[in-house]
Structure 1
């Protein structure tokens, strides 16, 4: 199963340069890296990245994350994937731009 992480340009650049990250500022504050499922990703983009351009959408395969990945209730009681270790560049299955068009993020074809 794939889960998704939205990174700003500088966060993506840091992951590529350092080969690992503890996440975005919200992740550092909460002590784990926030992810979304396919169904949750558009709402995450709209709620936390409204109007932001220059984003990257990362897809991560859950199986290699093992016990470090926990499913915990968040928005409205829905279970969200949270990673309790650094995200490694090698964990990233693929990364694609998440462009902003007419004020809305456009997800890659086939995802939504």
Structure 2
């Protein structure tokens, strides 16, 4: 979910056109595969330099193909500052009968 300062930017025609053009280019290059895992189709156009209130109006950051990546949701969620992949996993869980067990290690989807 976009932060408040970024909502207007992500709805703008400039961003929508840039995003679609980037996806079209990636589709021509490799069929639109995730640029991290190269296994799944891209789903999100990610800014390598995260947008913030002071750089969002700088087109060399917000609209520059060199600062964009087309990534699948799983890889995006594992990037710093994005999604669930950056939370520390729970170390224990309870089964249906209330017994406590260590949580098995998670397998990353993009490996």
Tell me the TM-score normalised to structure 2 length: 0.24
Structure (1 or 2) with the greater helix fraction: 2
Of the two structures, which has the highest relative contact order with CA contacts closer than 8 Å and spacing of 6 or more? Answer: 1
Tell me the TM-score normalised to structure 1 length: 0.24
Structure (1 or 2) with the greater strand fraction: 1
**Structure showing greater Rg:** 2
